[in-house]
Structure 1
Amino acid sequence: MIAGTGFYDLDALDDAQHETVHTAYGTAAVTRGSWHGQSVVFVTRHGAGHDVPPHRINYRAIVRALDELGVHDVVAINVTGGIDPDLEAGEIVCIDDFLDLTRRRESTFHGDGLGGVVHTDMTHAYDPVLRRELLDAASAIGQPVIDGGTYVCFDGPRFESPAEIRLAALAGGTVAGMTGVPEVTLAAEAGLRYAALSLVVNAAAGVRPGEAITMDDINTVLTSAAPKVLAVVDELVHTRSVFRSVDGEEAGG
């Protein structure tokens, strides 16, 4: 599980151990533990003190660390602004596509030319099976989650301009964020199943004229809505735990 703003620890983990994983791309701080009897690795993108801005996150180190720790499935949580004017603060979207509007990020494991040129298919970067498991988990606990949406990623750390959001809307964007890419593309390159829940915490710039974006408002929504997102993931992990006990073997970590 990889999460960002407002998600700095994972109280659900039993026997939590903090460690630093060294990779060829740098280090990644992770927390390992047990959740409903399943082994889980948790990463908070911005650090426990929220001191790493989105354009400085070492996405390659994070994804490579998860791969090297034996993770197969990644559930990501993103805090976003709503490009779609029908979205309300507190709603959750299960993303199925992305648009990369970043400009200065290391976005591939294959950029050094080693091993020849590699072109990775991004048609199903958000794994359809894992997405369905998340949607089923949400349905099981009665938590509404919107099935499908396009995540538009900007560099940050500033919020987007109204013109940038209008551009993103013309391209079919649903939500705007600063961390979803290259995380998703790197996961695809590493062969990890990846799915993302996007928590909408505000209307993106200009969507509702006259409304300013403030961290106070965002934190208010996070306080009330973050538990809903975690409840969906908790049900997913619990369901897998039940399947494992019935089948006698462990599902993907």
Structure 2
Amino acid sequence: MTVVTLQPLGIIAGTGFADLDALGDATTKGVDTAYGTTPVTTGTWHGLPVAFVPRHGAGHVVPPHRINYLAIVRALADSGVRDVVAVNVVGGIDPDLEAGELVCVDDFLDLTHGRIGTFHDGEGAGGVVHTDMTEAYDPELRRELIDAASSAGVPVVDGGVYACFDGPRFESPAEIRLAALAGGTVAGMTGVPEVTLAVEAGLRYAALSLVVNPAAGVRPGEPITTEEIDAVLATGRPKVLSVLDELVHTRSVFA
């Protein structure tokens, strides 16, 4: 008899998603990599293996510019993950986006500075490696996410550009205008270099962005407040989890 070992689905999430209650038999352990140790929670969801990493650590203590993205991506790859679904909480650059909407992004703008954004540092046998980012967000995995949202009855915007800033401060109105001119749809602080590292590691990566506020200056006179963000997170989190639940459920049916 042939025993088939299912590859775990990787899930990386940030603000408002410090845990996944749906995981059964969940255990957390540190996964050692050449870039540091990352706690990875493994368990099952609809009978399928899942490897979950909260970007900001337990208790949301790691700010976006200090997240060890290299260790997170390498830990998931070393745990046997092939597909990674990321959840990001973002501000809406596109004025048509309302708080609470979901966007399945398909491109990015890297407006960060000082972050280590590659596994290829020019040393060792690999030398200098140039990785194609034309389809950094895997089209097939994106389609799975969008189809799962449709089945769950959750509207999702198909396509958008994630403009990544360093944080942890919010962006200035001028920075948002600059990102808008470059085609940015949503603004966040964690999507890059996470996506680029995933591509370098040979992982299929897709991201679901939850819009929690208009970005700075999009609606003049409306400041960004944590109270506003928390209120949207309270209603948006169940929608995101329902999409993930349907994605995992669909995969379990066809496993």
TM tier, shorter chain? over 0.9
1:173: Cα distance to partner?
A: 0.2
Which consecutive unaligned segments of at least 5 residues does structure 2 have? Answer: 1-10
* Counterpart check, 1:231 vs 2:253: no
CA distance in 1, matches of 2:133, 2:46: 32
Could you list the structure 1 runs, at least 4 aligned residues long, displaced by more than 6 angstroms after superposition: none
Match of 2:68 among 53, 58, 61: 58
- Give 2:27's aligned amino acid: Q
What SS does structure 1 have at the residue aligned with 2:127?
coil
CA distance in 2, matches of 1:95, 1:111: 28
What TM-score, normalized to structure 2?
A: 0.95
1:116: Cα distance to partner?
A: 1.2
- Given that 2:122 and 2:129 are in contact with CA atoms closer than 8 Å, whether structure 1 keeps it comes out as no
CA distance in 2, matches of 1:53, 1:113: 29
CA distance in 2, matches of 1:47, 1:94: 24
What TM-score, normalized to structure 1?
A: 0.96
* Counterpart check, 1:33 vs 2:40: no
1:48: Cα distance to partner?
A: 1.8
1:221: Cα distance to partner?
A: 0.3
Provide the residue aligned with 2:54 in structure 1: 44
CA distance in 2, matches of 1:68, 1:56: 22
1:113: Cα distance to partner?
A: 2.4
Provide the residue aligned with 1:214 in structure 2: 225
Provide the residue aligned with 1:142 in structure 2: 153
* Counterpart check, 1:120 vs 2:131: yes
Provide the residue aligned with 1:250 in structure 2: none
- Residue identity over aligned pairs, in percent, reads 76
Which consecutive unaligned segments of at least 5 residues does structure 1 have? Answer: 245-253
Provide the residue aligned with 1:8 in structure 2: 18
What RMSD over aligned residues (CA atoms) do the two structures have, in Å? 0.6
What are the Cα deviations for residues 179-214 of structure 1, in whole angstroms up to 9, with x where unaligned? 000000000000000000000000000000000001
CA distance in 2, matches of 1:112, 1:44: 30
Provide the residue aligned with 2:212 in structure 1: 201
Count how many residue pairs are aligned between Structure 1 and Structure 2.
244
CA distance in 2, matches of 1:118, 1:124: 17
